[in-house]
A and B are shown apart, each in its own frame.
Chain A
Amino acid sequence: MSKNKTKVLILGGGTGGVIVANLLGRKAKKQAEVTLISNQENVFYEADLPYRVFDKKSLDSQFKPVRKVVNKRVTVLNEEVISLDVENQSVSLKSGASIPYDYLVIATGAHYDYDAVPGFKESAYHFYNEEGIIELRKALNDFVENGKDGKVRNVVVGIADLPFKCPVAPLEGAFMMEHFLRRKKIRKTTNLHYLSPIGGAFSIEQANVHIEKKFKKKNINLHTFFNTETIHTDRKIIESLEGDEIEYDLLLMVPPHRGQDYLNGTPIIDESGWVNVNIKTLQNEDYPNIFAIGDAANLPVSKAGSSAHYQAIATAHNLIDVVKGKFDISQVKERYDGHATCLVMTSLTSAMFFDFNYNRAPFGLGYISNRLFYYFKKYQRFLYFYGFLSGRM
């Protein structure tokens, strides 16, 4: 590799990191020496995880090796970052190596802190990783078996803490749970509750109207302003910061999300460990050679794969222009407009489509729940691995 090349270091081998790596590897091959560091061997496709709870298929197709989906000109290191030195522009790895950079892209996502909410670890099930799904499948199976006795039980879907990945995921969990319980013929004896930390089921008012209408139609009890404080495992009760209590027999809850540990102590994060960036350039304002995208960034937009995808494209194009000398790092363009896209499962066989940005609510047609959107969601995995990750789409 040429010593004259600009060193671009990408941390994280998820959606955002892989897309930035592929675009730079392809479009700035002469100017940039690109390295991607991931502590995971595989890219994990997460967008259909709520759906995967309810089928019994293997989860193997959710994974692809990072090396296989990243451009060959990009150096991929399967290592764990343990610290970041923003002054000296380098990261330290668990193996003892130190990697310098000229430009850094932080795309290391969030980690789940199961201890952040008392009782979560002991009581709640979730669908945010492979282990969670396997455990939840077993718990659902037991719930269905127990449900044959005809007793009335409570299923509660909630959120342990904010912010969290993919705001529509728990909604999808509730909608699909409702359909699943009907299929298993225990819906009539199951009260289904949804706990929302905000004033409605969803943050965007125009979309919320449609979601809440569906909740009413499907008899899902919505509890607003319910910010989980403690889960009392012994009494099977969830208590909120606002003073409410809900009983559960089966609790499906989004785990608490936090920023990555290696960022602790650096001057670029907020109180919760998310990297501070300009909401349109995705650049840290104190250290302009550092960008953060996806779940790792402190942005007023959903932490979701689609947002990470659009943010990665915006960041990659800014970096490509910088390394090619089109403009200086202090002049990067405001290329991200808050764009996010969600296919929202509204049952096991239907979905809605939300496409929005900082200034625009989802389009009207997307609110029509239908089978076509469901098929998009079902087969989007192929598009993800063979299209989105390349950065061409």
Chain B
Amino acid sequence: MIQDYTVEKVMDARNSFCPGPLMELIKSIKKGEVDKIYEVWSKDGGSIRDIPKWVDKAKHEMVAVIEENGYTRFQVRKTR
């Protein structure tokens, strides 16, 4: 799949445990610009549950959830 958008910032949180990856994402979105896409990498199983729930609650947009070898990449667009 060819990605037709640019990711503003990638946070590698594979060394972190839940809720670390979510917190990395929140920190970047808080500081970031509207419409930009932020990506966080996590290998903690809890992120699969927590990150989409938070994105939904905070009314941002989950652009993609990409499964890699042993970790997951979450791409989120800041919408407000």
Q: A199-B53, A203-B19 are in contact. Are A227 and B26 (CB under 8 A)?
A: yes
Q: A205-B46, A225-B53, A241-B30 are in contact. Are A198 and B58 (CB under 8 A)?
A: no
Closest CB-CB distance, B80 to chain A, in whole Å?
8
> What's the Cα separation between A227 and B57 when bound, in Å?
11
Q: A225-B54, A225-B58 are in contact. Are A198 and B22 (CB under 8 A)?
A: yes
Closest CB-CB distance, A366 to chain B, in whole Å?
19
B19 in contact with A243 (CB, 8 Å):
no
Question: For the complex, would chain A's binding face be called helix, strand, loop or mixed by DSSP majority?
Answer: loop
- The answer to whether B50 has its CB under 8 Å from any CB of chain A is yes
Size range of the chain B interface in the assembly? 10 to 19
- The answer to whether A96 has its CB under 8 Å from any CB of chain B is no
Chain B: which residue is nearest A278 at the CB level? B15
Contacts of A358 in B (CB 8 A): 17
Partner of A225, one of B15, B17, B27, B57: B57
> What's the Cα separation between A91 and B46 when bound, in Å?
41
Interface residues of A in 67-123 (CB under 8 A from B): none
Which of B17, B19, B23, B54 has most A Cβ within 10 Å? B19
Closest CB-CB distance, A171 to chain B, in whole Å?
15
Chain B: which residue is nearest A199 at the CB level? B50
- The answer to whether A135 has its CB under 8 Å from any CB of chain B is no
B22 in contact with A242 (CB, 8 Å):
no
A-B contacts, CB under 8 A, total: 46
Contacts of B26 in A (CB 8 A): 162, 197, 227, 241
> What's the Cα separation between A376 and B54 when bound, in Å?
37
Interface residues of A in 174-191 (CB under 8 A from B): none
Chain B: which residue is nearest A167 at the CB level? B19
Interface residues of A in 160-216 (CB under 8 A from B): 162-163, 197-199, 203, 205
Interface residues of B in 10-26 (CB under 8 A from A): 15-20, 22-23, 26
B23 in contact with A163 (CB, 8 Å):
yes
A199 in contact with B58 (CB, 8 Å):
no
B23 in contact with A199 (CB, 8 Å):
no
Contacts of A199 in B (CB 8 A): 19, 22, 49-50, 53-54
> What's the Cα separation between A159 and B23 when bound, in Å?
13
- The answer to whether A150 has its CB under 8 Å from any CB of chain B is no
Interface residues of A in 340-369 (CB under 8 A from B): 358
Contacts of A205 in B (CB 8 A): 18, 46
> What's the Cα separation between A144 and B62 when bound, in Å?
46
- The answer to whether A325 has its CB under 8 Å from any CB of chain B is no
- The answer to whether A156 has its CB under 8 Å from any CB of chain B is no
Partner of B57, one of A203, A242, A279: A242
A162 in contact with B58 (CB, 8 Å):
no
A300 in contact with B16 (CB, 8 Å):
yes
> What's the Cα separation between A300 and B46 when bound, in Å?
14
Contacts of A225 in B (CB 8 A): 53-54, 57-58
Which of A199, A243, A272 has most B Cβ within 10 Å? A199
Chain B: which residue is nearest A229 at the CB level? B30
A300 in contact with B59 (CB, 8 Å):
no
Chain B: which residue is nearest A240 at the CB level? B58
Closest CB-CB distance, A334 to chain B, in whole Å?
13
Interface residues of B in 33-68 (CB under 8 A from A): 46, 49-50, 53-54, 57-59
- For the complex with contacts A242-B59, A271-B27, 8 further pairs of A-B residues with Cβ separation under 8 Å are A198-B19, A198-B23, A199-B19, A225-B54, A243-B59, A272-B27, A300-B20, A301-B17
* 17 residue pairs bridging A and B, Cβ less than 8 Å apart: A197-B23, A197-B26, A199-B49, A199-B54, A203-B17, A203-B18, A205-B18, A205-B46, A227-B26, A227-B30, A241-B26, A243-B58, A279-B15, A300-B15, A300-B17, A300-B20, A301-B17
Chain A interface residues (CB < 8 Å from chain B): 162-163, 197-199, 203, 205, 225, 227, 241-243, 271-272, 279, 300-301, 358
